[in-house]
Every structure is written in C-alpha cells, then in structure tokens.
Amino acid sequence: MIELGTKIPKPYPVSLAPMMDWTDRHFRYLFRMISKHTFLYTEMIHTGAILRGDRKRFLSYNPEELPLAIQLGGDNPSSLAECSKISEDYGYSEVNLNVGCPSDRVREGNFGACLMETPEKVAELAAAMDAAVSIPITVKCRIGIPGKESFEDLYRFVETVKSAGVKRFIIHARIAILGGLSPAQNRQIPPLRYADVEEIKQNFPDLIVEINGGIRTYAEIEERLKKNDGVMIGRAAYETPFLFSELDSLFFQDDTLSLSRREILIRMQDYIDRFLRNDTNSKPHFVLKHLLGLFHAEKGARSYRRILTEKMFSDYSRDLLIEATREIPDSALDFIPSQKKNRNSAELESTVFPS
Ligand SMILES: Cc1cc2nc3c(=O)[nH]c(=O)nc-3n(C[C@H](O)[C@H](O)[C@H](O)COP(=O)(O)O)c2cc1C
C-alpha cells in the first residue's frame, strides 16, 4: 500500500531544464546572474554515480544556485531512496526523477523514458523516495512512448504516479521514440502536443503541472502559462541565455537584479579564478564554454565565439575574456535589459573589464 506524501513543491512559473553536460554547476552559476528566481535543475545523475562514484564531485554546487532540484536517474527503489536522502542532506530543494530520457544506454539500464511503460513501477520508485526525505519528490516525463501514446495512457500514468505523493509533474510535450531516434532527434522529430499537457492540468487541478518543449520566447512562456502552472525552458536558455534576463521582472515581479553582460563577465572571471585556485582538476574551458552564447545576435558575437573557442582549451590567460569582447560594442556590453538602458561605466564594481 502506497502512502500519500504530504510535501507541496513551491510553484515556479519558469524553470531551467536539466541538460546533460550543459546545465552543470558552472552554467547554473552563470544563469543565476541572469535570473535570481528561475528554478534550476542539475543534469541527470544516475544513482550508481552517487553511491559508488565521486559523490562530492557529482553533488557539489554553489549556494547561489538555490533553489535547485537534483534530477536522479535509476530504477531501484532503495538506491533512489538512499540518493534522495543524500541529496536532501546536501541541501537540494527538491528531488526529481527522470522518466523522459530516451537514450539507448539509459533504456538498457531500464530507467528514463522506458519507465513510462510501467506507471506502477514509477509510483513504487517515487513512494520509496518520498518516504526517505522531507523535501518534495517530482517527476519529469514525456507525454508518452510508442504503444502508450494516447492521452488516456498519459492520464493513467499521472493518476498512478500521483498516488505515490508526487505533486509536481514536468511534462515534455513530445513522445519519446525508444530505439531508432537519437536523443537529439527525440527533441525535434516527434510533434509537440501541448494540448495533452494542458488537459492533464485541467483533469488534475491539485497538481503542479509544468510544460516543456520548444518554448523559446517570453511571448511563448506567457501563452503557455495561461493553461499550465509553469514553463520549463531548455535549449533556448542555454543557447541564448541573455535573452532571458527579463525573466525575474516579467514572471517573478522582481527587477532588482539586472546585470549587464560586462558585469556578468567580471563576476565570471572572479568565479574562474576561484575555481582554478580551489580545484586542482579544473580547466578554464569547463566554465568558458558556457559563455559562448552570451552575445548571441550582437555585433562582434562571431569574433567573440571564435576567440573563445580557439583559446579556451590550450591558450587561456586572464586576458582572454577582454580579448574576446574587443569587437563587442559598449552598447551591448553595458545594456541592462530590465531598465532598457546602459550602465554607466563608473558604476562598475571592478576594473577587470575597462570600458
Ligand atoms: C544537451 C541536452 C541534454 C539533456 N539532458 C537531459 C537530462 O539530463 N535530463 C532530462 O530530463 N532532460 C534532458 N534533456 C531534455 C531537456 O530537459 C528538455 O526536456 C528538452 O530539451 C526539451 O526542452 P527545450 O525544447 O526547451 O529544449 C536534455 C536536453 C539537451 C539539449
């Protein structure tokens, strides 16, 4: 008999999707300078990595990243329960179970999207996790998999998993094709079916339902929020992060943050200095690669990307960011989105990036 959980996850209108190799702690630190309030997720971490691997490396994060959910992958109730407890002790805000990854390797391990085949199994996993912690357990899934792709299948999945106490579902509005399509194709080829997710919200008004997939602009976020509790943004936030610097003022009623890109780069340089000093295995490109999209569509962006790409791996020096931004006009470096104006260079807190 499954016990009903009692923990209510906080509602967040916008979250940043878990993305393997992309949303690591360095990118999340960067994104926090763009939005203080967007709910962040780690990349998926398999229970085996936590229980048998370098736990500190997998679980450490910067306190600035909170509120932050950890996403776990696995199919063993006691391992997932143990990892949930460890994650709670590390201070994570929520534990999320991956029921959406379509990769062959993940399918061979019997976790990720293939778990949508067996909602009772997901309920068992979620119940074990829920019993181990006092933070919320949530689920990120697809709208279906082949053979279980009707709305009725999705309804049954949500109804069954809800009975284990799960109150936040993040639903990627595409089915996952298991075998035959790569993970990248699985984020592009199956058509988006937003209506299915919206209908889940209508049928389960007490659940927090977040919609994910193909959402790239403020207008699209606004549109989707009419019928869902939250929107999860993935690729767009990684590829063009600065386009999202009005998230706090538009969706969280807070325009106190608002940093220009020059200020962000100053802080990232300090961050890189600290990272290189404190972690002997660190390399500058672990952080710098996440800065490549910062000047998307601005004059000088191509030269910025080229210089960073050419030099971050083997020719790094502390002048690299200054060199890379040489062709970026001050108007782009100092622009503050929420105020639609440029920061006076005298207001800058450091001289690392002289204007
Ligand atoms: C590089 C990459 C890695 C991803 N890794 C994960 C992951 O670890 N866990 C997960 O649930 N989804 C993962 N996803 C899927 C995203 O979380 C998201 O569901 C998908 O990209 C659709 O959202 P979007 O259209 O806004 O990008 C990944 C996506 C990308 C592009």
Contact criterion met (CB below 8 Å) for 178 and 107: yes
Please report, for residues 33, 85, 125, 188, 195, the alpha-carbon distance to residue 208 in angstroms, rounded to integers and kept in the order given.
Answer: 26, 23, 19, 25, 16
Residue nearest to atom 2 of ligand 1 (CA): 19
Q: And the tokens for 249?
A: 């003022």
Contact criterion met (CB below 8 Å) for 241 and 294: yes
CA of 234 from ligand 1 middle (Å) equals 6
Contacts of 213 (CB under 8 A, 6+ apart): 172, 173, 174, 187, 192, 194, 234
Answer yes or no: 101 catalytic: yes
CA of 273 from ligand 1 middle (Å) equals 29
Ligand 1 within 6 A of 233 CB? yes
Q: In 10 A of CB 8, how many CB atoms? A: 11
- 274, 249, 205, 71 alpha-carbon torsion, rounded to 10°: -10
Q: Going by DSSP bridges, is the β-strand pair 168-175/40-46 parallel, antiparallel, or unpaired?
A: unpaired
Ligand 1 within 6 A of 106 CB? no
Q: How far apart are CA 65 and CA 232, in angstroms?
A: 16
Substitution site in 187, 189, 228 for ligand 1 pocket (most atoms within 8 Å of beta carbon): 187
Q: How far apart are CA 219 and CA 204, in angstroms?
A: 25
Q: Going by DSSP bridges, is the β-strand pair 94-99/230-233 parallel, antiparallel, or unpaired?
A: unpaired
Ligand 1 within 6 A of 141 CB? no
Ligand 1 within 6 A of 190 CB? no
Q: How far apart are CA 141 and CA 296, in angstroms?
A: 30
pLDDT in single tens digits along all 355 residues of the chain:
455 566 899 999 999 999 999 999 999 999 999 999 999 999 999 999 999 999 999 999 999 999 999 999 999 999 999 999 999 999 999 999 999 999 999 999 999 999 999 999 999 999 999 999 999 999 999 999 999 999 999 999 999 999 999 999 999 999 999 988 999 998 999 999 999 999 999 999 999 999 999 999 999 999 999 999 999 999 999 999 999 999 999 999 998 878 999 999 999 999 999 999 998 889 999 999 999 999 999 999 999 999 999 999 999 999 999 999 999 999 999 999 866 666 555 554 443 444 3
Residue nearest to atom 10 of ligand 1 (CA): 18
Ligand 1 within 6 A of 20 CB? yes
Residue nearest to atom 23 of ligand 1 (CA): 213
Q: And the tokens for 303?
A: 């030269």
Ligand 1 within 6 A of 187 CB? yes
Please list the residues that pair with 310 across neighbouring strands.
none
- 343, 345, 351, 353 alpha-carbon torsion, rounded to 10°: 70
pLDDT for position 4 = 57
pLDDT for position 258 = 84
* Nearest atom, ligand 1, residue 172 CA: 19
* Nearest atom, ligand 1, residue 98 CA: 11
Q: How far apart are CA 80 and CA 144, in angstroms?
A: 23
CA of 186 from ligand 1 middle (Å) equals 10
Q: And the tokens for 233?
A: 């943004």
Residue nearest to atom 15 of ligand 1 (CA): 19
Ligand 1 within 6 A of 112 CB? no
- Reduce the secondary structure of the chain to three states and give it as a string: CCCCCCCCCCCCCEEECCCCCCCCHHHHHHHHCCCCCCEEEEEEEEHHHHHHCCHHHHHCCCHHHCCEEEEEECCCHHHHHHHHHHHHHHCCCEEEEEECCCCHHHHHCCCHHHHHHCHHHHHHHHHHHHHHCCCCEEEEEEEEECCECCHHHHHHHHHHHHCCCCCEEEEEEEECCCCCCCCCHHHCCCCCCHHHHHHHHHHCCCCEEEEECCCCCHHHHHHHHCCCCEEEECHHHHHCHHHHCCHHHHHCCCCCCCCCHHHHHHHHHHHHHHHHHHCCCCCHHHHHHHHCCCCCCCCCHHHHHHHHHHHCCCCCCCCHHHHHCCCCCHHHHCEEHHHCEECCHHHCCCCCCCC
Q: Which pTM value belongs to this model?
A: 0.94
Dihedral (CA of 66, 67, 73, 79) sign: positive
Substitution site in 97, 197, 233, 235 for ligand 1 pocket (most atoms within 8 Å of beta carbon): 235
Q: How far apart are CA 171 and CA 173, in angstroms?
A: 6
Place of tokens 């989105």: 337
Q: And the tokens for 168?
A: 């936040």
Q: How far apart are CA 164 and CA 142, in angstroms?
A: 18
Q: In 10 A of CB 177, how many CB atoms? A: 18
Please list the residues that pair with 104 across neighbouring strands.
none
Ligand 1 within 6 A of 213 CB? yes
